[in-house]
Amino acid sequence: MKTLLTLLSLFLSLSLLAESCPFTSFNKNGGALIVQDATSNKVVISCGEPQKAYKYASTVKLLTTATALKLLGRDFKFTTKFLFSPQKKVLTIISSGDPSLVIEQLTIIAHELKQRGVSNIKQVRLLSPGWNGKIEREQQGAGRGDRAYQAPISALSLNFNTVTVSVTPAKQGEKPQISVGIPPDAFVIKNQAKSVKGGGKSLIVSTTATKNRTVITVSGTIGTNRAKPAISYRRIYHPAHHYIYTLLALMGNKMVPVEISAADIPLNEKHHTIYTHKSRPLHDILTDMNRYSNNFIAETLTATLGIKEGGDPKNGVTAIKELIKKEYSFEANIRNGSGLGNGEYNYITPLQIMTLLQRNWHDRWGAIDFFSTLPVYGETGTLHRVPHTASIGNIRAKTGTLSGISAAAGIFRGKNGKIYLFTIILSDKSVRRLTTKRNQILSKLVEMF
């Protein structure tokens, strides 16, 4: 009831302020802007159509952030357990779906296992409780392809299930050098490229699937005068095998058979828990997700919420919708937890976004956890490259961008020292640099108060 009254009060305030918009962009081209005094809850600016539903793009991650903090807690950690049978030389990995593990951490894991006497591994078993037999899933809305943002989520992942391909020219007429930044055992590399005279490049880098591995194909030409290597980012395939093969390579172990199961495998021989790896706290993972608008983390967290609340990764969106309805009293018309995709879903109204911000701001214990995950204007993440104005360091916001859409939502500190909540969305396919216009408006807001 309290939330419904808040929504009604906010809507009436917006109606009264409909003529007070200091920006003409919203009157001509659509979109909306709401600014609210965080202390008094008074709406001080209302532009456009705040009651209309828009494709809020990656700003949808605010819903995922709120849900994850409520259901999992800021200190939640993903755990990956390693068990070893010294008699049969079987390494068993029990994974909970950590989306944040990178090669540096896997190198530490390999060292820890070796230090604990794990060697001459003859078989690796992977258990992924909760994933119900499907240990990898395509991201909703990403489409099919080999780009890094199209990487699948999985019960066991490494480097966000992507690979960095670096191509360095050799002598003219020779094949260039290809580096992937990690042990190449999980890859089949096909170097069909050629080093040519000059400083240009005309390279095609692609990844495809083969049996339990990823094929990296590099073709085309690269100039011998290039001072820096050409860098491409691509998705990998068979992510669980990719993780395991890389781990074995780091341990100096030969490649061995891998057995994958979603349920517990009967362990007839004696196994010992050799090592348990714990991820960074959820708050830190959410900060990376929002700072860099990482869809992979958002979709993996959505799957984790589905496992926790509904016993299946596919129930993640339902878990978010139910939490949002319970805590914030509105229906979230979303298809995923990342805002990815330009389809007919992920529609949210500015009014709903403001309700989310307002309730989190007035949560005594949760406000810091929620708002501290957001990028800082002029300093971090998607807000790093902005005009150098007095606004730098005074805005925290989650951004979102799609074709014809540029959005942001969060808090800012005005020149008067007060804190304001805001949400902005520009909707105009005829304008090429909507994000530039959005950032200009954000800078002006700080100057206005």
* pLDDT, tens only, 382-398: 999 887 777 899 999 99
One domain for residues 180 and 256: yes
User: What is the 8-class DSSP label of residue 98?
Assistant: -
The domain in which residue 170 lies consists of 79-278
In this structure, the answer to whether residues 239 and 194 fall within a common structural domain is: yes
Cα 74 from chain centroid (whole Å): 17
| SS3 label, residue 165 | strand
Q: Are strands 123-127 and 90-95 parallel, antiparallel or unpaired?
A: parallel
Q: What is the CATH number of the domain that holds 58?
A: 3.40.710.10
Is residue 274 domain-shared with residue 286, that is, in the same domain?
no
Residue 217 burial by CB count (10 A; 0-12/13-18/19+): exposed, middle or buried? middle
Q: How confident is the model at residue 272, as a pLDDT?
A: 74
Domain end, chosen from 233, 261, 278, is at 278
> Which band of pLDDT confidence, cut at 50, 70 and 90, is reported for residue 408?
very high
Q: Which residue has the higher pLDDT, 337 or 264?
A: 337
Token pair for residue 110? 């390999």
Quick one: 258 and 313 in the same domain? Answer: no
For 189-221, write each residue's pLDDT tens digit: 999 999 999 988 999 999 999 999 999 999 999
Domain boundary residue among 244, 263, 278?
Answer: 278
Strands (E), 56-176: 79-85, 90-95, 123-127, 136-137, 153-154, 162-168
Closest among 66, 129, 67 to 92, alpha carbons compared: 129
Residue 260 has pLDDT above 90, yes or no: no
Q: Tell me how far apart the alpha carbons of residues 69 and 99 are, in angstroms, rounded to a whole number.
A: 16
Mean pLDDT of 44-61: 94
Residue type, 148: A
Beta-bridge partner residues of 223: 196
H or E stretch including 303?
Answer: helix 295-310
Q: How far is CA 442 from CA 30, 31, 390, 410, in A?
A: 17, 14, 11, 11
| Same domain, residue pair 249 and 306 | no
Percent of the chain with pLDDT over 90: 78
Q: How far apart are the first and last CA of the chain?
A: 32
Model pLDDT for residues 147-176, shown as the tens digit of each residue: 999 999 999 999 999 999 999 999 999 999
Cross-strand partners of 178: 167
Q: Could you count the other beta carbons within 10 Å of the beta carbon of residue 158?
A: 25
Q: Decide: 176 and 170 in contact? Cβ < 8 Å.
A: yes
DSSP 8-state assignment for residue 147: B
Q: Output the pLDDT for position 234.
A: 98
pLDDT tens digit sequence for 97-146: 999 999 999 999 999 999 999 999 999 999 998 898 789 999 988 888 99
Residue 310 shares a structural domain with residue 247: no
pLDDT of res. 132:
83
Those residues whose C-beta lies under 8 Å from the C-beta of residue 449, and which sit 6 or more positions away, are 44, 414, 415, 416, 418, 420
- Rounded percentage of the chain residues whose pLDDT exceeds 70: 92
- 92 and 224 share one domain: yes
For range 37-44, the mean pLDDT: 95
| Same-domain status, 62 and 138 | no
More confident residue, 434 or 243: 243
Question: Measured between alpha carbons, how far is 189 from 435 in angstroms, rounded to an integer?
Answer: 38
Mean pLDDT of 317-326: 97
Residue 16: band (very low, low, confident or very high) from pLDDT cuts 50, 70, 90: very low
Between residues 407 and 30, which one has the greater pLDDT? 407
Q: What is the mean pLDDT of residues 69-86?
A: 96
Residue 420 has pLDDT above 90, yes or no: yes
Nearest alpha carbon to residue 112 among 243, 250, 254: 250
Alpha-carbon 347 to chain mean position: 19
The number of distinct structural domains making up the chain is: 2
| In the predicted structure, residue 411 carries a pLDDT above the cut 90 | yes
Question: Is there a single domain that holds both residue 128 and residue 226?
Answer: yes
Q: What is the mean pLDDT of the chain?
A: 91
- Band of the pLDDT at 18, cuts 50, 70, 90? very low
Give me the pLDDT at residue 291, please.
97
The pLDDT assigned to 71 comes to 98
Note whether 369 and 79 are within 8 A (CB). Answer: no
270 pLDDT higher than 80: no
